[in-house]
Structure 1
Amino acid sequence: MHKTQPHHQDFYSLCKSHMNKYVLAETSDGRQFDGIIVDVDAENVILAVPMASNDMSVYQDSQMANQRQWGWYGFYPPYGYYGYGFRPRFSRLVLPLAALTALSVLPWF
């Protein structure tokens, strides 16, 4: 148990020093995630991860569900509806600091 506290503190400091940078995070189960560190707290790091083109269908489905549930007010769809200039390019991913095993800064190109 004494090992987890320094591990937490090390990754907290590392993530804080790389705020707003594009990184590759590896978890203890071997999965890797690339994204931009947007926030860090005592327990978690939050990444903005790029959405793949197949993730767009999930976003579109959620927009259509909202439309069916709430309907449009007036003739035009709500502001920011997909197809009117807004398309999310990133989604948020929350990773526990305890699960991190590696963090590397990646180039932007």
Structure 2
Amino acid sequence: MQTTAAKPHKSMFESHMHRYVEVQAVDGFCYDGVVEHVDHEWLCLAVPGSVDGLRGFFPIAGPFSPFRPRRFNRLVLPLAALTAISLLPYY
């Protein structure tokens, strides 16, 4: 007899809102980021990193430059594809 895993609940992710977490997907990949938004179908993470692809088109960002590098990118994952969530220390 084959058993199916329980579908993750929205409340499981809501309790970690605005915290730095690691989530694991059904396929084994792990993603880390800050929980930005949760609804009944999707989890939105702010993932640390910068977009270096724009660097060739704009001057290097300085403290007074209008073109500052992004510190976070948005990653949207379906709740149905997630199996686990854990808090990570933020340094």
Q: Which range, TM-score by smaller chain?
A: 0.7 to 0.9
In the TM superposition, what whole-angstrom CA distance separates every residue of 1:27-83 from its partner, at most 9, and x where no partner exists? 0011111000000011000000011xxx5322435xx3xx8xxxxxxxxxxxxx862
Aligned pair 1:7/2:35, yes or no? no
Q: Choose from 14, 26, 29 the match for 1:28.
A: 26
In the TM superposition, what whole-angstrom CA distance separates every residue of 1:12-31 from its partner, at most 9, and x where no partner exists? 11111110000001100111
Q: Choose from 45, 52, 60 the match for 1:57.
A: 52
Question: Larger Cα Rg: Structure 1 or Structure 2?
Answer: 1
Which structure 1 residue ranges, 4+ long, deviate > 2 Å from structure 2? 55-61
Q: Percent identity at matched positions?
A: 39
Q: Which has the higher strand share?
A: 2
2:15 maps to: 17
Return the offset for 1:7.
1.4
| Higher mean C-alpha deviation, range 85-94 or range 12-21 | 85-94
Unaligned ranges ≥5, structure 1: 68-80
Q: Which has the higher helix share?
A: 1
Unaligned ranges ≥5, structure 2: none
SS at structure 2 position matched to 1:91 = strand
CA RMSD of aligned residues (A): 2.3
Letter in 2 for 1:104: S
Distance between the aligned counterparts of 2:47 and 2:40, measured in 1?
A: 21
Distance between the aligned counterparts of 2:60 and 2:44, measured in 1?
A: 25
Compared CA separation, residues 37 and 59, structure 1 to 2 (3 A) = farther
Query: Could you tell me the TM-score, scaled by structure 1's length?
Result: 0.67
